[in-house]
Structure 1
Amino acid sequence: MTRQKSAGYHNDFKLSQRSWGFNLEDINANPIRWYHGTVDTNTSCEAARATAQLANRYRRNIDYRTVEGLDHGGIQTKKALEVLHWMRE
């Protein structure tokens, strides 16, 4: 559970349901590498993958990667050096 109890989850859900003011498929950015842990309790791998696929519909600039056994915080700590190396390339 979070410090905010269930209020944080409810707020995230409400925010995800309203318009973001842009379409995911309109994102025009440099290549994006998206890591998502299989034990992330904030967002399921299926939901994250679906979001990446929608954003990738036209430009194919997102490299989505599932990482076994990591959660939301674990991704940030375990993949930080890999991300920095990739960004330097």
Structure 2
Amino acid sequence: MLALAHLRNGHPYVQLAAGFGVGTTTAYRYVTEAAEVRAALAPTLAEAVRAASMKAFVLLDGTLLPIDRIAADRRAGRVRRARGRWR
């Protein structure tokens, strides 16, 4: 909960430590460890882009981004034709 409070609200470590009854160093360590776990579970950039390309829209930092799949398919077709892989 301490790490989530910091990641969601950005509370300073001193405030988190006092609220959860732990030391400031412990609060820092919990937040750092939680961030490392999240980073280890996160997809790579290539995986995220591949997954996003299959969707109708994506949320990026809370912003809804529409994806024009028809235009993307058209562009991909042009690339394939230019490389001689598609007639």
TM-score (norm 1): 0.25
- Between structure 1 and structure 2, the one with the greater Rg is 2
Bigger share in strand: 1
Bigger share in helix: 2
